[in-house]
Structure 1
Amino acid sequence: MRSHPKALQGTACSWPFNALKREIPATMAGVLLMGHGGPEMLQYQTDIKVPQPREHEVLVRVFAAGVNNTDINTRIGWYSKNDSSDDASWGGTSLPFPLVQGADVCGEVVAVGCKVDVNRLGQRVLIEPCITEVNGETMQPPWYFGSECNGGFAEYTVVAAKHAHRVESSFSDAELATFPCSYSTAENMLTRANVRHGEKVLITGASGGVGSGAIQLAKARGAQVIAVTSPAKQAQLLQLGADQVLNRHSDLVAALGENSVDVVIDLVAGKGWPQLLQVLRPHGRYAVSGAIGGPMVSLDVRTLYLKDLSFFGCTVLAPGVFANLITLIEQGKVKPLLASTFTLKDIHQAQQVFQQKEYIGKMVLQINSPS
């Protein structure tokens, strides 16, 4: 399996490195993305070479990995802005095929590189999906786990030790795998928009992984939450903590009034986007990290400057965001929303169910069981 050219830099430590007292196999099962296209481009294989950690890396035995919009967007080349797909990664470059996707990973450190503390062995970890370091080398721009480098849709994966965060929790592996991508994205948006106690926050796409995480995280900050979703999911979002839930087809200005919201957390964009700016108060803040309703919107620039609005595009996690999320998980201030689990072999079915959007929370692939 081909690696990204940059990923080949660094010195390999002598195998089996510093490892737990169990045999680490030479090959593993996993799903390879062979190129851009439909689900047929995802191939389940059982003879993939187990990656070897270099000096500053850890080898993680993957217990569970969540399914995300970014997996599908990456597969179909949605991030590309031209017809050649040579800019279809998060970083705007071509992807290294074949590629192991999977950004949401819960697992156990089973081997460490020769410059990593051996006390990391045996730790249960969540992998930070925004990769700012690869084997001691700073990435600029950062990579995304399962995009510019191999991710977690396999029995083993490697990552820089700094991005494998120890987690102490009674949640199951599948439950923990619902957190990394969605909840860190939500926490990053709230952090960038500086959401404060008592502020009124409007969240679009609120029943998805990021949106449902944003509801909990905004409430943990003491904010008032208005969630936008489909009618069938309104009761569940109220139970999750939303103060008010609106139908996604509602006229937001009629329902809320102009200048009524402090912060918009947007995951949808699409044709209704101008209303989001209308309901923002002067000096309001708008944060976006998705465009499931369509990436092209109509902006009246006068609304932007006359209301002194601030816009935040949110992809790269701000420093400390993921560590803060781990603390919130360990303190029980957020809860996992596990919609369903599948085996790694059933990734096609998992993505099909995922795209139907008839659930709240996350789909997770169960890969290994703790031993």
Structure 2
Amino acid sequence: MKAIILHSRGPDGPRLTETARPSAGPGMARLRMLAASVNRVDLYMRDSGAGITHSLPQIMGVDGVGEVIEAPEGTGFAPGDRVILYPYDTCGQCRACLAGDQPLCSSARIFGEHRDGTFAEEIVVPAAALVALPLGTDVTQAAALGVAYLTAWRMVFGKAPAGPGQTVLVQGAGGGVAYAAMQLARMAGARVIVTTSGADKLAHFRALGVEVIDYRTADVPKAVAALTAGDGADLVIDNVGERTWPASLRAMARGGHLVTCGATTGAHPSADIQRLFVRQLSIHGSTMGSREEFRRLIAAFAAGAFTPQIDSTFPLADVPRAFDRLEHPDRLGKIIITIA
């Protein structure tokens, strides 16, 4: 079978490679992969991978949608069933797992990071990672849910849930997670303000009826203050990191919350501690979501509450080109890899 295998670090490291088809052991299911999505962590694995326990060569890809080839008896899955992957392989026994908060599992392994991933014609995963897809589900759209939309779900509905009467600021809304957060915050009934740049992106969000700030030409905190009669944003979604962090803090309302899930522009911004305690601000870290949050996300998607924004699609052989697109400033939404 064919897979995108990371052989070494750097742009030339990921290569379409012929490799042996996997076999399923006890408790494991074998899938024919249909589609997957490209995520920022793929670039991190390609270029560094520091701090993530793994060994090369390794199949890339964190999430995806597939069709069951074989599954253990008693799981409720049969050959031909279409499934989406919950992207964590967790122990099921630690305090976090027993509390239903799987992302905090002390021994969690993530596909494409700690073990072989989803950019392959066939994969073997724990049967517990399979979640049934409703009949008639658009496979391309569903492939966007596993990481980006699950991450956004916890950010929007987690420790500081968004809702009617609240203002949510989403930084860099053209990216996959940020765009998903914008959609989910609107679904929750919150007022949403986004930052982005480029004429096409600005026009896109305005056409949706979203309030937009061009971060290249405007002072973001001042613009947010002007839009909110000086109050600021109750919830700020920031996965950009060091570059946007000062503006995110200054754009927050008193008693507001900032939720972060990424640091693509750097991981060591100023803490601005005085602002934190004087204005009683809260900072929350967030990584993907629990199985229950995944179930709710899929139910909302199946009900038509939102439609994932797809920027582009690439075949499996063109994953390196998809990585280039991920870094392009014009990208808007998710990049999908079609496999079968």
For the criterion TM > 0.5, the same-fold answer is: yes
Query: What is the match of residue 126 of structure 1?
Result: 84
Between 1:254-263 and 1:202-211, the stretch displaced more is 254-263
Q: Which runs of structure 2 are paired with 1:1-371 in the superposition (5 Å)? A: 28-35=1-8, 37-46=9-18, 48-77=19-48, 80=50, 87=51, 89=52, 93=53, 95-114=54-73, 116-117=74-75, 119-133=77-91, 140-168=106-134, 170-192=136-158, 193-232=160-199, 233-240=201-208, 242=210, 244-249=211-216, 250-257=218-225, 259-368=231-340
Query: What is the match of residue 100 of structure 2?
Result: none
In structure 2, runs of 5+ residues without a counterpart are: 98-104
Contact 1:132 1:142 in 2 (8 A): yes
- Give me the whole-angstrom Cα distance separating, in 2, the residues matched to 1:297 and 1:59: 43
For the structure 1 residues 159 and 39, does the alpha-carbon distance in structure 2 shift closer, same or farther, using more than 3 Å as the test? same
Letter in 2 for 1:200: T
Contact 1:228 1:246 in 2 (8 A): yes
Letter in 2 for 1:366: T
For the structure 1 residues 358 and 274, does the alpha-carbon distance in structure 2 shift closer, same or farther, using more than 3 Å as the test? same
Q: CA deviation at 1:132?
A: 2.2
For the structure 1 residues 241 and 63, does the alpha-carbon distance in structure 2 shift closer, same or farther, using more than 3 Å as the test? farther
Query: What is the match of residue 10 of structure 1?
Result: none
- Name segments (4+ residues, structure 1) moved above 6 Å: none
For the structure 1 residues 171 and 339, does the alpha-carbon distance in structure 2 shift closer, same or farther, using more than 3 Å as the test? farther
- Give me the whole-angstrom Cα distance separating, in 2, the residues matched to 1:241 and 1:154: 39
- Give me the whole-angstrom Cα distance separating, in 1, the residues matched to 2:334 and 2:107: 28
Contact 1:65 1:365 in 2 (8 A): yes
Q: CA deviation at 1:125?
A: 1.1
Contact 2:238 2:245 in 1 (8 A): no
In structure 1, runs of 5+ residues without a counterpart are: 1-27, 81-86
* Number of matched pairs: 324
Contact 2:222 2:251 in 1 (8 A): no
For the structure 1 residues 121 and 291, does the alpha-carbon distance in structure 2 shift closer, same or farther, using more than 3 Å as the test? same
- Partner SS state of residue 61, structure 1: strand
Contact 2:31 2:122 in 1 (8 A): yes
- Partner SS state of residue 90, structure 2: strand
- Give me the whole-angstrom Cα distance separating, in 2, the residues matched to 1:176 and 1:135: 29
Q: Deviations over 1:123-180 (max 9, x none)?
A: 21111223324899x7524222211111110011122222211111544322221221
Contact 1:55 1:135 in 2 (8 A): no
Q: CA deviation at 1:306?
A: 1.6
- Give me the whole-angstrom Cα distance separating, in 1, the residues matched to 2:310 and 2:136: 15
For the structure 1 residues 152 and 203, does the alpha-carbon distance in structure 2 shift closer, same or farther, using more than 3 Å as the test? same
Query: What is the match of residue 101 of structure 2?
Result: none
For the structure 1 residues 354 and 119, does the alpha-carbon distance in structure 2 shift closer, same or farther, using more than 3 Å as the test? closer
- Give me the whole-angstrom Cα distance separating, in 2, the residues matched to 1:196 and 1:270: 27
- Partner SS state of residue 67, structure 2: strand
Q: Deviations over 1:275-309 (max 9, x none)?
A: 21122122211100112232221121011112221
Q: Percent identity?
A: 30
- Structure number with higher relative contact order (C-alpha < 8 Å, ≥ 6 residues apart): 2
- Partner SS state of residue 118, structure 2: coil
- Give me the whole-angstrom Cα distance separating, in 1, the residues matched to 2:324 and 2:174: 17
* Superposition TM-score, scaled by structure 1 size: 0.82
Contact 2:238 2:244 in 1 (8 A): no
Query: What is the match of residue 14 of structure 1?
Result: none
Q: Deviations over 1:154-211 (max 9, x none)?
A: 0111222222111115443222212211100100111223222221000012111111
- Partner SS state of residue 356, structure 1: coil
- Give me the whole-angstrom Cα distance separating, in 2, the residues matched to 1:60 and 1:256: 47
